[in-house]
Structure 1
Amino acid sequence: MTGEPSAEAVRFRLAVVDQALRLFDERGYEATTVEEIAEAAGISRRTFFRQFRSKEDVIFADHEAQLAAAAVYLGAAHEDPWEAVCEAAVQVFERFTQWREIAARRYQVVRRVPALREREIVTVFRYERLFTDFLRKRLPDTPDLARVQFTASVTATHNYLLRRMVRGESAAGAADLRAELAAIARGGAAARSDAEMVLAVFPRDMPPGRIADLLSRRLGTL
């Protein structure tokens, strides 16, 4: 397992990322060259390529640091593996709140470039895979579907709140994410319950009183 990068290394890479995203935002991704990024960051072209393989790698460099930090955290001893996954996700979120400007600028750049959106999807899946592999190792007797459902829910919840934050639609913090993650069923508990489970879907703007009335009527016929 790769060790967590030093704070100095993370700061250096983030400084380059910040300059690259600024140029991408101002000039466009395709129009910006590696030489221009290196000059803006005050480094040589050779130094750039010692840290990054391409312009595309620069955009997601902070994710590499995040994944490494999450892997180190999960590699330590944890009494509750489910809770460990949630806490790893919260730590990722907390760091993104510290790098809010970079996250917001990347969002603007990525949404305009289809190839970068595809890379982002792959990057998100890497978090999910990291969490799932951890649960497979720590909870080998748990049904795999339960593990996959759990990690998918954790990453989706994290990403939803993160996107709202970078778009300026929410000031949600780590405590808000913890509260939302605490509501996610763990270990397929809901699926294994002896009680019947009823799933209901309603329009977003339906009044709560109307929802309660419809549920009461429908449940009475089951």
Structure 2
Amino acid sequence: MSTKPSRAVIAPHSATAAIRRLAERGYEATTAEDLADAVGMSRSTFFRRFGSKDDVVFADHDHALAQLEAFLTSTTDTPGEALVQGTADVLRHLTRDPEAARLRFELMRVTPALRDRELVITHRYERVYRRFIREVAAPEIPRWVAPALAASLVAVHNATLRDWLRGSVPDAPGAVTRDLRRVTGLYAPWLDPAGASSPQRVVVAVYDAAGSPDAILDAVAAQLTHS
């Protein structure tokens, strides 16, 4: 499976200018000439490099998908951590220009045609995840694991992005990393069967409630050393 490459990576200020033009004039009312003017190029160059108005709006996703697939192909992380870090990198890319991200979100909210294209993008992310999961998972993996985990990764990413856009999550990459580690942990028996089957030790520490934090940590460390 090969991710469809973007025709070009638009510089952040150019993406913002193009999306701002679409937001100001409306998706249907904005022409290719308008967008070419917004990004500072001729109409023919615009079509040669970007193809359509949709491609301008979703150029960041095309680039993020290509980066995600390249990362999953080359990473030496454990499978679960690879999925976490790859998804966090996608979110970093999509939020690196806050103005463009917010304009894009509002534009898609009011433009049905763009919401349809967004669904296609979502399925492309899921295909990348499913392929990776099937390649690295245990041989006896149930058929539902790859599609279920892939959909969960996309759902958590999208929920975090929406929360960031609303201002309720200031550190989107940090939040999605934390939440995705919880999600991938549920699939550890298939993603990392050796690690999932390793016995865990339980340490019970009894300490003086009036003791200092350093003394308590020293007591726990001593128990771990001798257990």
What whole-Å deviation, never above 9, does each CA across 1:48-80 have from its counterpart, x for those lacking one? 112212111111111000001111101104342
Residue aligning to 1:32:
30
**Mapped partners of 2:145, 2:109: distance in 1:** 32
- Secondary structure, in 3 states, of the residue corresponding to 2:187? coil
User: Looking at CA atoms only, which structure, 1 or 2, has the larger radius of gyration?
Assistant: 2
Q: Kindly report which structure 2 residues correspond to 1:62-81, keeping only aligned pairs within 5 A, or say none.
A: 62-81=60-79
Number of equivalences: 187
Task: Return the match for 2:47 from 26, 49, 53.
Answer: 49
User: Contact between 1:66 and 1:92, CA under 8 Å: does it hold in 2?
Assistant: yes
**Mapped partners of 1:149, 1:187: distance in 2:** 14
In the TM superposition, residue 139 of structure 1 has moved relative to its aligned partner by 2.2
**Mapped partners of 1:47, 1:17: distance in 2:** 15
Structure 1: unaligned runs, 5 residues or longer? 190-222
User: Contact between 1:146 and 1:188, CA under 8 Å: does it hold in 2?
Assistant: no
When residues 139 and 105 of structure 1 are mapped into structure 2, their CA distance, relative to the original with a 3 A threshold, is same
**Mapped partners of 2:133, 2:32: distance in 1:** 39
Residue aligning to 1:186:
187
User: Contact between 2:69 and 2:128, CA under 8 Å: does it hold in 1?
Assistant: yes
**Mapped partners of 2:42, 2:27: distance in 1:** 20
Residue aligning to 2:168:
169
Instruction: In structure 2, give the amino acid aligned to 1:151.
Output: A
Residue aligning to 1:59:
57
Residue aligning to 1:110:
108
In the TM superposition, residue 188 of structure 1 has moved relative to its aligned partner by 6.2
**Mapped partners of 2:117, 2:3: distance in 1:** 21
TM-score, length of structure 2 as denominator length: 0.75
User: Contact between 2:80 and 2:181, CA under 8 Å: does it hold in 1?
Assistant: no
In the TM superposition, residue 149 of structure 1 has moved relative to its aligned partner by 1.3
**Mapped partners of 2:189, 2:147: distance in 1:** 10
In the TM superposition, residue 81 of structure 1 has moved relative to its aligned partner by 1.5
- Secondary structure, in 3 states, of the residue corresponding to 2:110? coil
User: Contact between 1:16 and 1:37, CA under 8 Å: does it hold in 2?
Assistant: no
Residue aligning to 2:145:
146
TM-score, length of structure 1 as denominator length: 0.76
Residue aligning to 2:20:
22
In the TM superposition, residue 170 of structure 1 has moved relative to its aligned partner by 2.6
User: Contact between 1:104 and 1:167, CA under 8 Å: does it hold in 2?
Assistant: no
Residue aligning to 1:99:
97
What whole-Å deviation, never above 9, does each CA across 1:4-42 have from its counterpart, x for those lacking one? 98xxx6353x44432221111111111110001111211
Instruction: In structure 1, give the amino acid aligned to 2:92.
Output: E
**Mapped partners of 2:71, 2:44: distance in 1:** 32
Taking only aligned residues, the RMSD between alpha carbons, in angstroms, comes to: 2.4
Moved over 6 A (4+): 2-5
**Mapped partners of 2:14, 2:113: distance in 1:** 21
Residue aligning to 1:157:
156
**Mapped partners of 2:142, 2:188: distance in 1:** 8
Percent identity reads 37
What whole-Å deviation, never above 9, does each CA across 1:83-137 have from its counterpart, x for those lacking one? 2111110111112221222111100001101111111111112111111111112
